Amino acid sequence: MSLAATHRKLADQVTALAKPLRQACAVRLVDRRTGLTHRVNGSPLVLFTRDPAEAVAELLSGRDAKVWEARIEPIGGAA
């Protein structure tokens, strides 16, 4: 087996074993009363992440769930 073929086989094995990346998402903090995204210094508060559950937990930490919600929007195509 040639060196190039050996490298290709190894690369295929690594690809097969690697976990697929989760899709990137934008997570927004939204005021339930108004339906508007929360703003900080006039800019919408948005977290970009591949772990939306962690972002939601961070955004809602210490906030009243009756007032606030987090909305998750996928970005781009599936990973």
Going from the C-alpha of 25 to that of each of 2, 12, 54, the distances in angstroms are 42, 28, 12
Enter the tokens of residue 32. Answer: 């339930």
CA atoms within 13 A on the CB side of 72: 15
pTM for this predicted structure? 0.67
| Residue 48 near residue 74 (C-beta atoms within 8 A) | no
- 31 — pLDDT class (breaks 50, 70, 90): very high
Where do the domains of the chain lie? 20-74
pLDDT tens track for 1-29: 665 554 455 456 545 444 455 789 999 99
